[in-house]
Structure 1
Amino acid sequence: MRKIILFLGVFLLFPAMFRAQDRHIVLWDNTSAPTSNDLTGDEVEMKPGQWTNTQTAEMWIYQAGANATGQGIVFFPGGGYANLSVGNGHKTAEWFAKNGITAAVVKYRLPNGHSEVPREDADEALRVMRSLAPELHIDPDKIGVSGTSAGGHLAASVGTLSPQRPSFMILFYPVISADTDKRHRGSFEQLLGKKHCDTPQSQELSLEKKVDVQTPPTLLFHCDDDKVVPAVNSVLFYKQLKTYGIKSSLHIYPSGGHGWGMSSCFRYYDDWQKSVLDWLSTL
């Protein structure tokens, strides 16, 4: 049985550097989820907000206030599918909520060679977010997904492979392509295992090849000098979106590298935030 544990109105702290969330939800673990990632032992917080060996999927929801737009978003942190930058996810979700978009950050189970596991968690998080829409005062038809790096790949997987598509996607320097000259190899090794990383199976997770007419509107951000996940990943995805006539926008900044997230040191920090809010206002 799926177990959803809701802690309503208790304003849990996680950790002290983040403001109180409105809800904390445990989605499931390896014993109750459809598929196990076969990881054992304790989950490890390598440093504040950064987790590895994750075996329980959970989400924290930040609810918008008086400026609420009625939109919601589910955010998946990155980490190459080897670890999770959950702390950055909390900061991002809090920023969305402050700007009127009720947001959830998800600590998902890492794949450990079971590529279906993170998407099972992501699909369930989106399902739960939609089920809570009346209580959260958001429109169930205006709930999107977002993510950074490998979390961007997970968000885009929901938008291209899931039977329940999100309403929109916002992808930050996402892993997209499985092609050997474009991919982030580490992400695909974690998804499929090293033995299967170079097999045709990997192409089933090359998401530029999975775009279709049902893919939701998408906003993409990347930096031209990204040495970890080449900007061509976003370019290829954007090209396919336009092939199918999907409402989309692509921002490629000249510098900034990879992993800038919520860093105020990023030169285009104000620009990307304004662009996100402007784009969301058009949906």
Structure 2
Amino acid sequence: MKRTIGFIAALIFLTTAVPAQNYGQAATIPLWNNASAPHTNGITTPETETEPNRIGNTSEAVLYLFPAETSKATGQAVVICPGGGYSRLCMDKEGYQMARWFAANGITAAVLKYRMPNSHPEVPLEDAERAVRILAGLEAGATGFTADRVGIVGCSAGGHLAAMTSTMAATRPAFAILFYPVITGERGKCHKGSFDRLLGPGRTDSLTAYYSLQNRVTPRTPPTLLLLSDDDRSVPPVNSTAYYNALKENGIAASMHIYPAGGHGWGMRDDFACRAAWQQAVLEWLGSLR
């Protein structure tokens, strides 16, 4: 049910200034909650945090903004969608730590705490689209931090959200970077838990196909970089390869890096052997877009 939006995003600066050289968070930007957003996910109980930086049961969308290092600023910005199987959010290694790395390399980053779908797929999508619009200066809330080219980054289920924003939103990001993304709901290829929580365990085949994003790519889909491990047993690599093939069939500039080992969910982990390789690949690819 549509709701009247009576909430204007406010920019709230932290009371303690963070030195620029630390590439720290500079602002917290509330987007909306279930009462003020166009749709509700139906969650009425408090958020959970069963372990540090693993947040579940979210019903309020918030952006945490990390400005680019001024001397390296590229004019690019990214909205980062952490993963967590659409049941919780990995806010550190797929959120804040990644944002600091982007900021240190001249790209303003905003980590999105998005609302869990809880069988309402339109809910995280409208959160991500509004985050892109705010960071692009199309809506109020991020004055002084906006960018001309705003992309979206997502890990795992957050990669599904980033790809969903790239293919289904009215306002599309300028580019997308997808880390080991959930893409398809096809049997034998999907991360079943993510799709069950996105659409409900009784999801129909037609609804599953609709949100299998290799089916939603069009010439309007932005350039995309995919990064994953060949030995990922949580989200099969065919998710990324199917999306890459769909991008190429539609004439979209795309690149894909498949690392031999690392499994799933490595994000900013220090022990991922290809960490330096993926970081170089991301910066080179972003440079090619400028």
The bucket for the TM-score relative to the shorter chain is over 0.9
Q: 1:244 to 1:46 in 2, by over 3 A?
A: same
Separation in structure 2 between the aligned mates of residue 189 and residue 61 of structure 1, nearest angstrom? 31
Q: 1:62 to 1:11 in 2, by over 3 A?
A: farther
Percent identical among aligned pairs is: 46
Name the counterpart of 2:107: 101
Name the counterpart of 2:3: none
Deviations 1:67-125 (A, max 9, x none): 10000000000000011111220111111000000000000000111111110111111
Q: Which among 247, 251, 262 is matched to residue 241 of structure 1?
A: 247
Separation in structure 2 between the aligned mates of residue 51 and residue 26 of structure 1, nearest angstrom? 16
Separation in structure 1 between the aligned mates of residue 26 and residue 143 of structure 2, nearest angstrom? 15
Q: Which runs of 5+ in 2 are unaligned?
A: 1-5
Deviation at 1:202, TM superposition (A): 1.1
Within 5 Å, which residues of 2 pair with 1:150-189? 150-189=157-196
Name the counterpart of 1:230: 236
TM-score with structure 2 setting the length:
0.92
Structure 1 vs Structure 2 CA RMSD: 1.6
Structure 1 runs of 4+ aligned residues shifted over 2 Å read 8-13
Within 5 Å, which residues of 2 pair with 1:1-283? 1-8=6-13, 10-11=15-16, 20-65=24-69, 66-88=71-93, 89-131=95-137, 135-136=144-145, 138-139=147-148, 142-196=149-203, 198-283=204-289
Separation in structure 1 between the aligned mates of residue 212 and residue 60 of structure 2, nearest angstrom? 26
Q: Aligned partner of 2:263: which letter?
A: G
Deviations 1:40-74 (A, max 9, x none): 22111111111001011001110012210000000
Q: Aligned partner of 2:48: which letter?
A: V
Q: 1:41 to 1:19 in 2, by over 3 A?
A: farther
Deviations 1:28-47 (A, max 9, x none): 01110111111122111111
Q: Aligned partner of 1:36: which letter?
A: T
TM-score with structure 1 setting the length:
0.94
Deviation at 1:149, TM superposition (A): 0.1
Separation in structure 1 between the aligned mates of residue 9 and residue 154 of structure 2, nearest angstrom? 23
Deviations 1:140-180 (A, max 9, x none): xx110011000000000000011111000000000001111
Separation in structure 1 between the aligned mates of residue 217 and residue 225 of structure 2, nearest angstrom? 14
2:83 is paired with a residue of what secondary structure? coil
Q: 1:5 to 1:270 in 2, by over 3 A?
A: same
